[in-house]
Structure 1
Amino acid sequence: MSELTAHHVGVTVADLDRSVAFYRDTLGLPELARFSVGGDAFSTGVGIENAQASFVHLDAGDLRVELVSYNSTGEPQEYSRIDRPGATHLALTVDDVTAYYDSLSSDVETVSEPQTTESGTTIFFIRDPEGNLIEVLSD
């Protein structure tokens, strides 16, 4: 049996260019690849009839972040709360959470200022332009 290893974390967005700009320019993740996928195999694989999507892969060190925008008639959902079943977030580490927080542009939506939790981890959350949660942390 094959051993599973991590490949990427996918984030579905409505405006791919705006999201790429945020992840590249605000978070500093370099772009690795840009491509589109469609066809019967893709539609069957994702379980959406006539699915077509554009993808951008970004380098987050040991993790690849995949931004994907589907040509879909689905409506965007409201901001998710992290305590809801099915909620997801991307977590990225930095050496100094407070310095990173202080370096963010004022137009970046933050959930809170940095907080040190009972476990000793310092965290804060931001939202990307689509409302997806990103945790910034240090141990």
Structure 2
Amino acid sequence: MKVQSFSHVGITVSDFNRFVQYYWDVFGCPLVGVSEAPPERVRAFFGVGRDHPAPACKIGWIRVPGGATLEIFGFEPKLPPERIPWNKVGQTHFSFNVRNVHKWHDYLRAKGVEIVTTPEQSPRGHWFFFVRDFDGNLIEMIDLKHMYYVLGWLGPLGGWLFRRGMYKDYYAR
């Protein structure tokens, strides 16, 4: 058994409408669906608001160009955000594929986006930098250069070869 592709990442947001507008204005990602969970489901399924008279959850789907989706949750009541340290087990960031990180860096700075790092080049040749959205979510902006083609066309073959070669220790049972 193996998965077919990456689908989405879920993000709980502080302000549903602001998040939708921000991701449209800054990244060109449109809202493609919205639903509201009834209070009973918010309590039972999500375990939120058990002591709240009317817990709520608005759920939205924001389409990222290229195919992935940001699934966003606007809960009431909500907890305050926490900055996630790199070495804490669990998710740390998500990434957008872009072309020309230097132009993106300038564009995002002009938009008032919090810039975390300046663009830097990896030893393998791709460029990347990090930003935070208004809720503090860490986003990697990455230009994989030639690796787009390597991953797209040779990814399955490379995975097969690497499982049997230089990365075989990671697959030992």
* TM-score of the two chains, using structure 1 as the length reference: 0.84
CA change 1:43–1:6 in 2 (3 A) is: farther
CA change 1:78–1:49 in 2 (3 A) is: closer
Which structure 2 segments of 5+ residues have no match?
A: 145-173
CA change 1:92–1:77 in 2 (3 A) is: same
Q: 1:66 aligns with which of 58, 64, 71?
A: 71
Cα deviation for residue 52 of structure 1 reads 2.4
* Counterpart residue identity of residue 90, structure 2: G
- Per the alignment, residue 94 of structure 1 pairs with 98
Cα deviation for residue 134 of structure 1 reads 0.8
Cα deviation for residue 127 of structure 1 reads 0.6
8 Å CA contact 1:13–1:130 kept in 2: the answer is: yes
**TM-superposition CA deviations, 1:57-101 (whole Å, max 9, x none):** 111122011121111253x13322233222431211012111111
Structure having the larger proportion of residues in strand: 1
Name the SS of the counterpart of 1:46 in structure 2: coil
Q: How many residues align?
A: 138
Structure 2 residue 15 is matched with structure 1 residue 11: no
CA change 1:18–1:47 in 2 (3 A) is: same
Q: 2:123 aligns with which of 118, 121, 124?
A: 118
* Counterpart residue identity of residue 63, structure 2: D
**TM-superposition CA deviations, 1:32-66 (whole Å, max 9, x none):** 11221124345332233545211221111220111
- Per the alignment, residue 127 of structure 1 pairs with 132
- Per the alignment, residue 48 of structure 1 pairs with 48
Question: Of the two, which has the highest radius of gyration?
Answer: 2
**TM-superposition CA deviations, 1:9-41 (whole Å, max 9, x none):** 111111112211211101110111122112434
Name the SS of the counterpart of 1:100 in structure 2: helix
Distance 1:119 1:44 in 2: 47
8 Å CA contact 1:18–1:129 kept in 2: the answer is: no
8 Å CA contact 2:49–2:77 kept in 1: the answer is: no
Distance 1:85 1:34 in 2: 31
8 Å CA contact 2:81–2:135 kept in 1: the answer is: no
The RMSD of aligned alpha carbons is 2.3
| Greater relative CO, 1 or 2 (CA 8 Å, sep 6+) | 1
